[in-house]
Each structure stands twice: as C-alpha cells, then as structure tokens.
Amino acid sequence: MKVLCLIFSVFLINGCAIDAERYRDKTPDFKFESFFQGNLCAKGLVKSRNGQINRKFAADIVASHSANQVILEEVFLFDDGERQERNWVFDKTAEGWSGTAGDVIGIANGEVFGDSLNLKYQLKINIDNSEYIVEMDDWLTLVDDSTLMGSTEITKWGVNLGRIDIVIQKTESLQQNASKLENCIEAGVL
C-alpha cells in the first residue's frame, strides 16, 4: 500500500508541473531587458495553498539596465501596512537570466520561453519573528508591451504553501519628484 501511495504521489506531483516548452512559440516574445526599464507599478495578491487571499500589495519598481545587466529596485506596500524593499541584479546568461537579491539564497535562474519567463529561486521570509527559506517558482507572461502578469508557486520541501499573483505595468507618466509608490496607489493600483 505504501508503494502504491508513493507512486500515486509522484504522478500527482509530475502532473502539476508546467510544461515550459509549450510556451516557446507564444508571442509577443518576452525581452526581459526591454520590458524592465524605467518606472513600473505592480499590484498583487498573496494566497494560501487553498486559494484564500491573505494579503494584497502594491509595488513600485524602478528598472535600469546596461548591455547585459538589469537592476530592479522594488518597494512593496502591503494592505496590513508592512513595507518591503528588494533590489535585484540580473545578468544575462546563455540560458537566460541569473539574479541576486539580499533575501534570495544563492542565485535565481531564469529562462525565457516565448512570451514567458520562468524564474526559480530560494527566498528568506519572516513569519511571526521566525525566518524560513522557501522555494519560489515564478512564471511571468507578457500580455502586451506594457503589461506583465505573473504567478508564483511557493513551496517548502515540495509542499505547496501558497501562491502570489501579480500584474506589472509600465508607468511612464510618474512624476520624478513625487513618491512613486504614492502615485501607484493614487493610480488605483492598490
């Protein structure tokens, strides 16, 4: 019986995996360095493994790049008042993109499949004054030239803990001297 349960579990887990190759021919082609430049706003939901919405957030992202590097300065504001900042540095690789950030363990590895980017990494999170390391499996899909939609599966030891859904939009109209995050909120992002 234990063997049968183990076999069933393996098939169940494999059945949930995303077949990345099916995205390879989807358009428009996602150019990471083209989308992530200038000012962007994001909004999203953090959900439990059963789909319950636990938190909402808005984010301001300032993106800059050089020939083979993209830098993302992110500021998140959650509906419970928490504020988080993350600064990513992504480098172009033969396979796609690799990135680092202060709360990322090791290197995040990203590969582009047509209109989508799959980014996998380990992230340190704090819950009730305890630190945990979780696995993040991001899928970011280009909707049009100014909109990116994403879904992130959060797991620990292969067990689904939750999901993050996010929409990222370019916002060329943000004023330089105003608080960009406040502009995102005023624009209805949160």
30: pLDDT confidence band, cut at 50, 70 and 90?
confident
List, for residues 49-69, the tens digit of each pLDDT value. Answer: 999 999 999 999 999 998 899
pTM above 0.85, yes or no: no
> Tell me, what's the pLDDT at 28?
61
Higher local confidence (pLDDT), 26 or 89: 89
Write down all domains in the chain, each with its CATH number in brackets. 27-186 (2.40.128.20)
> Tell me, what's the pLDDT at 124?
96
117: pLDDT confidence band, cut at 50, 70 and 90?
very high
For residue 139, CA distances in Å to 51, 70, 81, 163 come to 17, 18, 27, 11
> Tell me, what's the pLDDT at 172?
67
Q: With 80 as the cut, is the pLDDT of residue 126 above it?
A: yes
Residue 57: its H or E element: strand 53-66
Q: With 90 as the cut, is the pLDDT of residue 176 above it?
A: no
List, for residues 87-97, the tens digit of each pLDDT value. Answer: 999 999 988 99
d(CA 39, CA 46): 23
